[in-house]
Amino acid sequence: GLSQNVPVLPPLRYPCDVLLSRVDRHLHVSQGDEHHRLLLPHSPPSLALAVSANPLKLDPSSPSTLTPPSQPLCSLLTRPLLSISAYAPLSLLDIAYNALQPVFYSTPRALGGLGLEPHAIGNALAVLGLSNGVFQAFCFPRMIKAWGVRKTYLVGIASAAPVFVCFPAMSAVVRMEERAALQTREEPALSAPLLVMLAFQLLLTLLLNT
């Protein structure tokens, strides 16, 4: 009764299988004169005539068909490469400062360093890290809005010069204090000029980390 009126549907096939079967049925490749012609299913007659009138010619001896055309060197200067080249000097200066800072702090005063204890160095680095986080969260967005990305980047690069100049300046002050301490036989400590230069250096480090 009812089952006889229901048509029997063919088994389901994936769309890719149907497309491949159609392409296999309509693929014609001519073997003579190295002319290759591809007729896609349901292609209009005008397209078929255009393909047959202008077949693709493959010449193995021609270098244009075997190797891609050479690109100029300036084509490599894409936006990611420019971004990397702009970040590289800033990162180099930041890493150099982070490597030199604890060494200078721990160097004995007789050699021109600050001669700080390990816990004092840790406290100074902790204060610098906390200040850097606060600066990046609240001050850096305002700098970007006021100056723009390019000017902010140039300010960060320019701040590296006085940051590294502070090391020999503080070393000269330490040597002067050591010579004065030998005459008075007093225990040297961080003087006010050293504290001012140290605070100035740490302040400029926030700009370098931007």
CA dihedral 152, 193, 167, 86 (to 10 degrees): 0
pLDDT digits (tens, 9 = 90+) for 183-197: 777 666 778 889 999
Characterize the bridge pairing of strands 35-36 and 56-57.
antiparallel
Q: According to the per-residue pLDDT averaged within each range, which of 6-20, 30-44, 76-90, 166-180 is highest?
A: 166-180
SS3 36: strand
pLDDT digits (tens, 9 = 90+) for 89-129: 888 998 999 999 999 999 999 898 999 999 999 998 999 89
Task: Give the C-alpha separation, 163 to 198, whole Å.
Answer: 10
pLDDT digits (tens, 9 = 90+) for 12-58: 454 555 544 554 554 444 444 444 444 444 445 544 444 444 444 44
What residue type is assigned to position 185 of the chain?
R
